[in-house]
Structure 1
Amino acid sequence: MNSKRKALMVLDHALRRSPSRWLSFAGAVLVDFLIIIIAMAFSGLASFQGSPAAVVSILGYYSVPMAFVAALTLFAAGFYWISERYFNIDDLVRLAASSAFFSVCLFGLTLGYGPLKGHTHFDFTLLFLFFSFSLIAGTRVFRRVQSWNRAASRRRVSKPAVRTLVIGAGDAGETLLREVMRARKHRYDIVGLVDDDPQKTNLRIYGSRVLGTTEDIPHIARTLGIEEALIAIPSLDGRNIRRIFDLCRQCNVRVKTLPGVSNLLVGANADLSAQLRTVEIEDLLRRKVLRADVNDIAGYLRDESVLITGAGGSIGGELARQIASLPPHNLCLLGRGENSIYEIQMELASTYGRRCDAVVADVRSMPALERVFRQVQPTVLFHAAAHKHVPLMQANPIEAIENNVLGTWNLIQLSLQADLRKFILVSTDKAVNPSSVMGATKRVCELMVQAYAREYKTQFGAVRFGNVLGSRGSLIPVLKEQIRRGGPVTITHPDMERYFMTIPEAVQLILQAGAMGKDGEVFILDMGEPIRIMDLAYDLISLHGLVPEKDIEVSITGMRPGEKLHEELTYSKEELSPTKHPKISIVPGEQLSISELDAAVGELMKKCKAGDEKGAFDLLMDIVKTKPLPEEQAAH
């Protein structure tokens, strides 16, 4: 039944073809007719000691029937409708199978008909298989090469090509090279490749030679007039991307790259050449990807009703994307900004074909949250809603305390009432020895999660990590905007350092930590080495093709209220314990009682309601046992 349906589909496809395609089809069939006759003649000459009479007799009896059988076989296999430009290894395998089929037909024909009747001439049949397959395959490979050459000629005539060097001679480099060669839209003249595997030097890929290693880039660029380099190594780490970028910059070579492994689109329909882009700061900070255990994550989210607070933000939105891909039984997005919540809801509907619940609500409002819990009946909660801007929250402490602390307290109370199965708090490295209002509020949230985990069956956990690249209103977008405007780029202190991680990587590890959290643990994500903000600014300026301090001024403005020179991921008294994931560690919970915390939070809310900023600030810092800096004390 399937073969019949397939044959009908092929026939229907053929009938829809234009007259010009029918002419092309007729020409291809005629060529294959001639090939079958020639293959049979060669086979007869080789099998029957070159006897012309035997060959003529064989051709007279078998050539026409076999030509029709071969043409019908190739037609049924779809070979007459394959674009010659895309004839590939898979087609070659199918052609071998088709050739074997009509060779078996020839063997059967010779047993019952004609001058070879009653004799088993295996040698004749095998030679026919060899010659027919070789000649049919050869004509198609020849037409493919001709097609590529015509496309290359059209590109050369239409617009001068950019002299290009491909970096990486692995699978991605080979695929990229093939796509560039066959696509009319690209304007690349591939001069050669480089690869750090010395055994690949002088190898040829589609006619392009591996000219050396990446250290040879300056010499190759100057000698051969390279204008652009394409990095075709998705697994390359940030250190090596920076090294290659610097080598190319020495000789004024523009650089484009494929995305990293975690962001690269792969598959039968993925076009690598369309994914080429300029090098971004995220590429220079790229680290080796350690995948989360998708089965582990899906295991604790499958059949669950998941609620994400702050779903319109950078972390909350990415949580929504990754969770929706699993998917859970139900997904609800909660946020205070209607536009951002609507955008992520529409994105998920478009990408995953499912409409998630979206609720506009404020986590400070207990009545609003009660309605959400009644409607959604969540069983797993990711709490990402928070005010995060340090200087802004320093100037608005009551807003920070009410949103971050009261919002978390409200959600915990409702989670306990609803017998929520799992509650995961998204925290920050600024919660460690906090010098800012924002950091102190997040530390209080950590303490609440730890305290309630010891007394209730809901599985609580918190995930602590540093800055994420590209989040709204964060450092990188601000610096990019300053560069776009021509400077100056402002840095608060030349020695300031921060930890950085990409948003997808952070969220993947949050989800992995969620699978492990149950007793109020604080999970620490491996952020790598801290990065100097000054170096980051210089890199960004260079990536824009400008020279720091020459084209763009870098200005030191002084540290802002609440800022620290160096962020920390753990307290000195906290001892890290490993988990089953190499990039996630655990620190034990604080031994504070629920009654102590509830009393402190209640008093904190009273001071906020009374508008007592100084009293609220002092009490906040007292709860987290951090002495405010003198200038902070004076400010409040």
Structure 2
Amino acid sequence: MNPGSKTAATLTRLAVVTHDLAMVYICWQLMHVLRYASRHEAWPLLSFSPSIAWVFAAQAIVFWQVGLYRGLWRFASVPDLWNIFKASVVGLVVIVVGLAVYNRLDSVPRTVLVVYPFALTVLLGMPRLLYRVWKDHNVRQRNLAARRVLILGAGQAGESLVRDLRRSGAFEPVGFLDDSLRLRGSRLHGVPVLGRLEDAPTVARETAAGMLVIAMPSLDAAAMQRVMAICERTGLPFRMVPRLSDVLEGQALPGELKEVAIEDLLGRKPVTPDWKLIRGWLGGRTVMVTGAGGSIGSELCRQCARHGARRLVLLEINELALITIHGDLRRAFPDLEIEAVLGDCGDPAVTAHALRLGQPDAVFHAAAYKQVPLLEAQMREAVRNNILATDTVARLCRENGVGTFVFISTDKAVDPANVLGATKRFAEMIAQSLDEEDGGTRFVTVRFGNVLDSAGSVVPLFREQIRKGGPVTVTDPEVTRYFMTIPEACQLIVQAAASGSHGAIYTLDMGEPVPIRLLAEQMIRLAGKQPGRDIAIVYTGLRPGEKLHETLFYADEHYRPTSHSKILEAGKRELSADRVIAGVGRMREAVARYDEATLRQVLCEVIPEFVPAEVASPADAGATVVPFPAREARSTR
């Protein structure tokens, strides 16, 4: 704040204090005048005495202590009126005690004491409320061209929204729509409830509304889809009030109107982790994250920083990604200690350096290649990054006494039908094998499906296709996938890490699988267009290594609930640690020779359920992967 602003604020506050003390004097004198007038006696109105001085002093101190001057008259409301009444009552008590000691309340009529707090509340409250009415009227007069808004939902969120819209001056609420019969015909802050949600097209025309706002942040997916369909029928733009969880997580600002996002329509109930457990585990600790600049890695960094980690070690091979997450964390958490290490976590020297530098208590291993079709033709790189790098990081964590190693896996590791799934499954087995050996490190694996809006995922692909006018490409009309938001997945990863047992594999409850066709249609509608009319949807066929439907557990892998309803623990399957360790050694030799045939052979030996696809040579069809016919039939189960 500049000096001029400080001076103006001081003068304003001085004026308010002067006004209030003047009201105290007027009230005290007026009560006496009225009391004596009822007896046809005179009261010297302008007399000033030690009693009056005490009334001034006592009431001024009470006003200041109860925070009467922290609020602004511009936003005076019922809570402010209640605060004034409390200050008047407490002030009266202090006045009575002081005058009783001074002169035993001589010449102070008892009726004055009874009426005083009520009269003072009126004298202090009315100017504030009148000032607010005047300011609100001026704002509306200055904004006669304000955008007319029809609000869907007349609950608490709608009531707060009306006040926020009017204060902004850029919007004018013209009515509410709500399905509650008891609200029909009522008014909130003078704004009428004009009908049901289904009446939106008619009411929008009658009120000349220019925009709709959905003020029902707790709606489930089915209800949100219905409301969005109603909004679309009006042909008007629409926004929604953010959920409280989004505000608390810093994804939205209080009072901000946001566009309806695809995650609002997918039907996932808000996740509530055990924050006390997480903060108790993270509090004051050092955490290292590999792949710290990726979609999952960067959000894990934010969750750890937000919930008590003292220090973060960021290990990332991508220079720009490392700079970006380092800058984001530095701005959001200025007191957090951060060590940034640029390099490949599969390089033992790099990982050993990062571990020595940070001496972490826990390591989240999020670095991985994850693009299914690409990795089908890149067996060597998939093995090197997803298997050998995991083995390197995990072993070095154990050698350096890291308390917890958390491996981020995928639902594609279950009955793997592609190179990604097979390499992730092999990495899971490495973590379990190392946990069986003597050592103090706790190895925990967490599986989950797709995350919305992650780099390279289907959501940003569809968004770009829609932006270009289509078509939107979907592999198959029947294909489904499990989805989570990135913050939700990371919160549950940290929860599993905090409570997980040695060698356990946890699967996150992903809810119901989502048809990709439906996802594409909803994203097209969110863009204000109609599927099939404005934007075409083209079905291209399953790509190499893809299944129609993903599964979360093996058929013989029994699972059991954990302390958190959204986290399930997979029962341990039979595992030969010696075979896994020997396989890692053979893979290192094969990677050094770029021997992909041996890599496939080792994967199939260690993971019998994996049958790799046949791959065309780079000269054929632009190195396009050709699906193995028998495998394609198997993948539709």
Please classify the TM superposition score into its range, dividing by the shorter chain length.
Answer: 0.7 to 0.9
The residue that corresponds to 2:164 in the other structure is 179
Task: Name whichever of 97-106 and 352-361 sits farther off.
Answer: 97-106
Cα distance 1:39–1:390, how it changes in 2: closer, same or farther (>3 A)? same
Q: CA deviation at 1:339?
A: 1.2
Q: Which amino acid aligns with 1:432?
A: V
CA distance in 1, matches of 2:16, 2:586: 89
The residue that corresponds to 2:294 in the other structure is 313
CA distance in 2, matches of 1:327, 1:109: 49
8 Å CA contact 1:321–1:348 kept in 2: the answer is: yes
The 5 A counterparts of 1:120-199 are 121-156=109-144, 160-184=145-169, 187-199=170-182
Cα distance 1:265–1:228, how it changes in 2: closer, same or farther (>3 A)? farther
Gaps of 5+ in 1: 1-12
CA distance in 2, matches of 1:545, 1:438: 36
Query: What's the CA shift string for 1:562-620, capped at 9, x where partnerless?
Result: 11111111111111100010011011222222211111222233233222223322432
The residue that corresponds to 2:548 in the other structure is 565
CA distance in 1, matches of 2:415, 2:12: 79
Query: What's the CA shift string for 1:511-557, capped at 9, x where partnerless?
Result: 11112222211101111111111111111111011111111111111
8 Å CA contact 1:43–1:128 kept in 2: the answer is: no
8 Å CA contact 2:407–2:428 kept in 1: the answer is: yes
The residue that corresponds to 2:495 in the other structure is 512
CA distance in 2, matches of 1:304, 1:111: 59
Query: What's the CA shift string for 1:104-147, capped at 9, x where partnerless?
Result: 57657987999x97356222222122212212212211111111
Query: What's the CA shift string for 1:209-247, capped at 9, x where partnerless?
Result: 334443443443344333322223333222222111111
Number of matched residues? 612
CA distance in 2, matches of 1:127, 1:118: 18
Q: Which amino acid aligns with 1:233?
A: M
Cα distance 1:467–1:240, how it changes in 2: closer, same or farther (>3 A)? same
Q: CA deviation at 1:89?
A: 4.5
Cα distance 1:286–1:150, how it changes in 2: closer, same or farther (>3 A)? farther
* TM-score using structure 1 length: 0.88
Gaps of 5+ in 2: 617-624, 629-637
1:248 and 2:238 aligned: no
Q: CA deviation at 1:253?
A: 2.9
Q: CA deviation at 1:86?
A: 2.0
Task: Name whichever of 59-68 and 403-412 sits farther off.
Answer: 59-68
The residue that corresponds to 2:316 in the other structure is 335
The residue that corresponds to 2:80 in the other structure is 91
The residue that corresponds to 1:6 in the other structure is none
Task: Name whichever of 140-149 and 213-222 sits farther off.
Answer: 213-222
1:17 and 2:7 aligned: yes
Identity of aligned residues (%): 36
What is the Cα-based RMSD across aligned positions, in Å?
Answer: 3.2
Query: What's the CA shift string for 1:341-373, capped at 9, x where partnerless?
Result: 121111111111124111112122122222222
Q: CA deviation at 1:103?
A: 4.0
8 Å CA contact 1:335–1:362 kept in 2: the answer is: yes
Cα distance 1:330–1:97, how it changes in 2: closer, same or farther (>3 A)? same
CA distance in 2, matches of 1:60, 1:376: 74
Q: CA deviation at 1:380?
A: 1.2
Cα distance 1:85–1:603, how it changes in 2: closer, same or farther (>3 A)? same
* TM-score using structure 2 length: 0.87
Cα distance 1:26–1:379, how it changes in 2: closer, same or farther (>3 A)? closer
Q: Which amino acid aligns with 1:173?
A: G
CA distance in 1, matches of 2:384, 2:454: 23
CA distance in 2, matches of 1:629, 1:92: 73
Cα distance 1:107–1:537, how it changes in 2: closer, same or farther (>3 A)? same
Task: Name whichever of 442-451 and 398-407 sits farther off.
Answer: 442-451
1:393 and 2:375 aligned: yes
Give SS of 2:503's match.
strand
The residue that corresponds to 1:8 in the other structure is none
1:276 and 2:264 aligned: no
The residue that corresponds to 1:33 in the other structure is 22
Match of 1:595 among 554, 572, 578: 578
1:553 and 2:542 aligned: no
Cα distance 1:35–1:218, how it changes in 2: closer, same or farther (>3 A)? farther
The residue that corresponds to 1:289 in the other structure is 270
Match of 1:465 among 425, 435, 448: 448
8 Å CA contact 2:603–2:610 kept in 1: the answer is: no
Task: Name whichever of 373-382 and 243-252 sits farther off.
Answer: 373-382
8 Å CA contact 1:74–1:80 kept in 2: the answer is: no
The residue that corresponds to 1:300 in the other structure is 281
Match of 1:488 among 448, 463, 471: 471
Match of 1:233 among 213, 216, 221: 216
The residue that corresponds to 1:384 in the other structure is 366
8 Å CA contact 2:422–2:610 kept in 1: the answer is: no
CA distance in 1, matches of 2:414, 2:199: 46
CA distance in 2, matches of 1:487, 1:403: 34
CA distance in 1, matches of 2:17, 2:279: 52
Give SS of 1:334's match.
strand
Q: CA deviation at 1:59?
A: 6.4
The residue that corresponds to 2:326 in the other structure is 345
